[in-house]
Amino acid sequence: MSAPAAVRDIARRRATIAGRTLRTDRWWLQPLITVVGLVAWVLYAVIRTATQKYYWVPQYHYLTPFASPCISASCIPEASHLGQWLPAFPPLVPFAIITLPFLLGFRLTCYYYRKAYYRSFWLSPPACAVSEPHKKYSGETRFPLIFQNVHRYFFYAAGIIALLNTYDSIVAFHGKTGGFGFGLGNVILLANVVLLWAYTASCHSCRSLVGGRLKHFSKHPVRYWMWRQVSKLNEKHMALAWTTLGTLALTDAYIGLVSAGVFTDLRFIN
Ligand code: FES
């Protein structure tokens, strides 16, 4: 029996109750928190990237991940770590336009975010034992949701982007008058990069890549060890998904505020 047919069969056998659910707890709270959290983050990101301002701190070479890689002729030349291959951007276009589709694709097709937005935005279903408003269900077997299966390719792209972010965080160990320098901004940039790697490594595609298609773990001890480490991270995938949204926004906000002169960076080594 195909999966959709099995699901239809279960739907036919659902208990016939008058109300939408018999649950009396606040089952709607979790989807509501998810909607508020994701909408707030997207609004923040759209506004920040559209301003094309306060993305670079010249004294310490801090570049916000929201503007990386800065490869447009509109970028401040020192912030263009990889050069300027693209012409000047009109207003409102994010400087990181080249990586945004891949990052967005990676998060949108992520197994955890799928669960989050299917439940919270599409209400399919909004919670356990709460009926959904949709009459039909075809899962991810048809257009457009069949495209969720390209997640593995976005995972490869996300790995390359994490490398870029790592490079930005290394370049940022820059002193006010040149040479080595170290401040609170470096701690924030570094923590963000470590957590981004943890989120990327905890991906289900990564777990399958590392330990999948093996008949005998005993014959592949290195891959088995790696699979166990990735599996441990994988258990925290939801927490990492949210934490990295937070650290991305925090890193961007910190660099934005230092760049705008609202406060100065706390320096440990100038
Ligand atoms: Fe979430 Fe791959 S499953 S990033």
pLDDT tens digits for range 145-181: 999 999 999 999 999 999 999 999 999 999 989 999 9
| Predicted confidence (pLDDT) per residue in 117-154, tens digit | 999 999 998 999 998 888 887 788 888 899 999 999 99
* % of the chain at pLDDT higher than 70: 94
Q: Compute the distance from residue 157 Cα to the ligand 1 centre, in Å.
A: 12
- pLDDT for 268 beyond 60: yes
Burial grade of 28 (CB within 10 A; 0-12, 13-18, 19 or more): middle
pLDDT-derived band at 264 (thresholds 50, 70, 90) equals very high
Q: Which residues line ligand 1 (CB under 6 A)?
A: 110-112, 151, 155, 203-205, 237
CA 242/CA 159 separation, integer angstroms: 18
- Whether the Cβ atoms of residue 148 and residue 109 lie closer than 8 Å to each other: yes
Phi, psi of 165 (to 5 degrees): -60, -35
For a ligand 1 pocket test, name from 140, 153, 204, 207 the mutation site with the most ligand atoms within 8 angstroms of its C-beta. Answer: 204
Confirm whether the ipTM is greater than 0.95.
Answer: yes
Ligand 1 atom closest to the CA of 151, numbered from 1: 2
Helix (H) / strand (E) containing 165: helix 151-171
**Are residues 63 and 72 in contact, defined by beta-carbon separation less than 8 angstroms?**
no
How far is residue 85 from each of residues 51, 79, 139, measured CA to CA in Å?
21, 13, 41
User: Which pLDDT tens digit goes with each residue over 51-73?
Assistant: 999 999 999 999 999 999 999 99
pLDDT tens, position by position, 229-258: 999 999 999 999 999 999 999 999 999 999
Measured over the CA atoms of residue 188, residue 92, residue 156 and residue 230, the dihedral's sign is positive
Tokens (6 digits) for 150: 């390209």
1 pLDDT band, cuts 50/70/90, is very low
How remote is the C-alpha of 30 from its chain's centroid? 20
The chain-wide mean pLDDT, for the chain, equals 93
